[in-house]
Chains A and B, each alone.
Chain A
Amino acid sequence: MASNDNKPVEGSAWQNVVKDWSDDKETFNMPWGKLMMWLFLLSDTFIFSIFLTSYMSVRMSMTHDWPNVSEVFSLVIGGHHIPLILIAIMTFILITSSGTMAMAVNYAYRGDRKKTVILMSITALLGASFVGMQAFEWTKLIVEEGIRPWGNPLGASQFGAAFFMITGFHGLHVTGGVIFLSVIARRVHKGVYEKRGYSIVEITGLYWHFVDLVWVFIFALFYLW
């Protein structure tokens, strides 16, 4: 059978690519759980893309002015209006957490359980602080600025609707990620994965990096547009 031969295959590069992908082996050289996470993230990418596309569509067809974001998203610190300061800190925290997560994956594969657990816990804490700051931001918008999903004094009601829906959906993802990280970190600590291998840490990491990446797009489209 040709598929079991090891001799070099003839044919064009394209045919070889097809053969390589379709051979009688695991199509992707990775654990099942990791492939499943990639597929889930692909599906989730569509969810966020559709959220953001809908937001852009709504924003283009609205009948009132969009609020001035550099004023809405500013904090008064020491008597100065500083635009986007809170969101800059939040973004910085989330991107830092991606760094600590990457280090956790590295140490997990080296078999250093202690450092893995510490780094995953730091990642979870950074994530939790992100959610905390988001709660602060929401409180400020709702209480001080009077912004509601169904309307606001600054302009188009779709501003509040889209903002709360999309950042809320992302915040739920971060919260889920924090729980996911904590559970896995605890199990790593207990040594559950000594036999099975540590790909689960990488799978957790994939999810976490994805949530960070989505935030970059939300940041760009909500706060900089």
Chain B
Amino acid sequence: MTQTTHTAIADQVDDSHHPKSFISKYVWSQDHKVIAIQYSITAIGVGLVALVLSGMMRLQLGFPDQFSFIDPSSYLQFVTMHGMIMVIYLLTALLLGGFGNYLIPLMIGARDMVFPYLNMLSYWTYLLSVIVLLASFFVTGGPTGAGWTLYPPQAVLNGTPGAENGIVFMLISLAIFIVAFTMGGLNYVTTILQARAKGMTLMRMPLTIWGIFVATILGLLAFPALLVSAIMMMFDKLVGTSFFMPAILSLGENIDHKGGSPILFQHLFWFFGHPEVYIVALPAFGMVSDVIATHARKNIFGYRMMVWAIVAIGGLSFVVWAHHMYVSGMNPYFGFFFATTTLIIAVPTAIKVYNWLLTLWQGNIHLTIPMLFAIGFIFTFTHGGLTGLMLGNVVVDLPLSDTYFVVAHFHMVMGVSPVMVLFAAIYHWFPKVTGKFLHTGLGKIHFWGTFLGTYAIYLPMHYLGFLGVPRRYFAMGTTDFIPESAQALNASITVSAIIVGVIQLVFIFNLIWSVFKGKKAGDNPWNATTLEWQTTKTPPVHGNWGPSLPVVHRWAYDYSVPGVKDDFIPQNVAPDQVIMIEKVEGAENVEGMESNQKGDNT
């Protein structure tokens, strides 16, 4: 069975589908590259809103009651919207909708996604969900302030900020987002399975594609839980059903609900919520692997183990959800089970971290901006992963639950870490997307500010957590067990956070400036092996490959192969076209010959 058996737009050679007008080329575009850029700009834009919200929260925490525009209700609303936007509308959308869309067809040697029209619909549906989400800022009562986990019963009860309209907008927006994600996700999985170029076996795919592939499958299986819980909560709110609502005395009155189960929502939410962590993490794992291999000029260490680790993490992520619920009052035996599965996940994750380190080991490390961010990621991820091991144990989690230790943990592991990879990926692939480099000096300022700022923000939070400072509190007041010095720490965190926030403006400026004034990059500026760098035009044209599709002859990591003239062999170079070093008598290159064999990886 060959590639061409089922012909669709992605496979057609003829040029008749090329859009002619500006509108069909850049607005209602079906080209995966344009859709990817649309996704990315929207996600980064809404992410900046979330960044501003986090700054407002920090202002209140660092300097309580100095700012009249932050009252307890709006504080909770900032917390909620910051969390939800960052996790779903920024990270998920940018990693899968942005990088997934851009890289999948280019890296596997396809002309486009298998169903470009559906792909276009996916973006516009996503945009609609963002608009509905942002609209909730302007409705009566403002956006919901229930915390990004939206736990009932408080999420729908009067007294919670946004219980009038905000929660409804949030649920509708989530439902629309899930529809958008499903349309995109079906496309990604089908494209990866069915539309790979000749020679591109699954075990030759770059790890980026593996990460996106498994993450998308996780999304397709995990988002249903969020959709169902959103529908049920919407019924509770609008129709008056009692799925999640027990009998409650609220504000001195008996509410109309009885007999529902709030714990059910927590189970449903985290059945989505935990895989969501890996929906964000797995593409990041994949992309950072490719960045590290490229900039260390060395094949990724243990490719097969890296692939199986991604698959194993993906599978395990569905059986750990209740470790978010140790304090929910569920049966303690559950805690035993979920602690065990949680700790098992550390095994494939540790394999990945060791393999990144061993890839760097004795590599020819180029400290380019993408590499700096990639190495930064290894630090932040290891750090957040280790605190994850602590929180995975029931006895350690109980006293630390709902403290700043948890906030520090998940920001390190699934906030900062994927963002570090996103920065690495943007600096790495920007030359392919635009044909220009991002400015290196500004990039260094951006990296060091962000990386050091991260530690200035989150290291003290671990300590605050040990002190027992609870999360999501508007103000601590006078609490006996919290020393006054904690306030000094909070103020320093706030100052750091604002500095880091401002440094992101340097990055935004760099993006815009480089599009116009950046240094010309050429087709393959990093001397990388993967297919997207082998296009003849940069940025790649509609259809990606010109008249004929590339043929793949080797895996994605033929860097520094002994005896070969260049220190990289692109995936589409046939064995007989590899230029060898001319043999000098008596100087046979023996060292490292075994790694050469990997080039013929089947």
A residues adjacent to B (C-beta < 8 A): 1-4, 19, 21-29, 31-33, 35-36, 39-40, 42-44, 46-47, 50-51, 54, 57-58, 61-64, 149-150, 156-158, 160-162, 165, 169
Contact = CB atoms under 8 A, between A and B. Distances in A.
A29 B6 CA distance: 10
A169 B175 CA distance: 14
Nearest to A27: B193
A67 to B, nearest CB: 14
Nearest to B8: A32
B259 A156 contact: yes
A27 B268 CA distance: 32
B151 to A, nearest CB: 16
Given A32-B6, A39-B186, A22 B202 contact: yes
Top 10 nearest A-B pairs (CB, nearest first) are A22-B202, A150-B240, A161-B241, A46-B224, A47-B224, A2-B602, A27-B193, A63-B259, A43-B220, A32-B114
B220 A26 contact: no
B325 to A, nearest CB: 14
A26 B193 contact: yes
A150 B258 CA distance: 10
Contacts of A40: 182, 186
Contacts of A25: 1-3
A66 to B, nearest CB: 11
A156 B227 CA distance: 24
Interface in B178-221: 182, 186-187, 189-190, 193-204, 220-221
B232 interface: yes
B2 A150 contact: no
Nearest to A52: B228
A54 B268 contact: yes
Given A26-B1, A32-B190, A39-B190, A50 B221 contact: no
Interface in B212-245: 220-221, 223-225, 227-228, 231-232, 235, 239-243
B357 to A, nearest CB: 27
Interface in B524-581: 552-553, 575
Interface residues of B, number: 55
B261 interface: yes
Contacts of A42: 220-221
Contacts of A156: 259
Contacts of B115: 32-33, 36
Interface string B585-602: 000000000000000101
Contact of A2 (B194, B258, B600): B600
Nearest to B113: A32
Nearest to A46: B224
B518 interface: no
A33 B191 CA distance: 11
Contact of A24 (B196, B228, B247): B196
Given A3-B201, A32-B6, A36-B190, A157 B225 contact: no
B202 A27 contact: yes
